[in-house]
Amino acid sequence: MAVIPPVCDFNWPAPDFTLPATDGKTYSLNDLKGNNGTLVMFICNHCPYVISIMDKLVRDARDLQKLGICVIAINANDADKYPDDSFENMQKQDFPFPYLHDESQTVARAYGAACTPDFFGFNADMGLQYRGRLDSSGRNAGADNLTRDLYLAMKQVAQTGAGPTEQTPSMGCSIKWKTA
């Protein structure tokens, strides 16, 4: 069942974290934040919504990095119930950005992540400016010429420090929370 996260809470401060990455290093948010903004996205390996946009996601990440925006991916899914999302399977991905493992799910909870993908776009001062979708693809890959909502919003953030006032929420599979 699809989950839709809430709209952007402008200037909400980014919670810090320290997490292991698939490159064998451990990163904090301060280690990674970009000069012109930071995009923290919650994704996973098995979600059909994420899989359908992966090529566009990598394209947009590369384009945002050229604008001085750091792109970070975090997987918080319960790998015991969803083995495709294990750290070992995360390491099989070849991303041009850090892919971090939130095994305890504390970071996902601190951010209020609701689904995969869930995008949190921060300005250089680490205030939230975008919590919307990549584009209008949804569960199935849309055409390559769809409006690049995430890219355009984060480009605006890099240039002005502020995100667009009109944002369409992302949609995806729910975060796979561990049971207590």
| Among the listed residues 101, 97, 126, 117, the one whose alpha carbon sits nearest the alpha carbon of residue 172 | 117
168: left (phi over 0), alpha (psi -120 to 50) or beta: beta
Give, as one character, the DSSP assignment of residue 170. P
pLDDT given for residue 4 in this prediction: 82
> Would you state the torsion angle of the CA atoms of residues 153, 155, 157, 163, taken in this order, to the nearest 10 degrees?
-20
CB neighbours (10 Å) of residue 179? 6
| Among the listed residues 35, 29, 32, the one whose alpha carbon sits nearest the alpha carbon of residue 15 | 29
CB neighbours (10 Å) of residue 121? 26
Instruction: Output the tens digit of pLDDT for each of the chain's 180 residues.
Output: 678 888 899 999 999 999 999 999 999 999 999 999 999 999 999 999 999 999 999 999 999 999 999 999 999 999 999 999 999 999 999 999 999 999 999 999 999 999 999 999 999 999 999 999 999 887 887 778 889 999 999 999 999 999 999 999 999 999 999 987
Rg (CA), the chain: 15
In degrees, to the nearest 5, what angle opens at C-alpha 131 toward C-alphas 102 and 11? Answer: 95
Q: What is the DSSP string of 33-95?
A: --SSEEEEEE--SS-HHHHHHHHHHHHHHHHHHTTTEEEEEEE-S-TTT-GGGSHHHHTT---
Residue 50 amino acid letter = V
Fold (topology level) of 2-174: Glutaredoxin (3.40.30)
pLDDT given for residue 5 in this prediction: 85
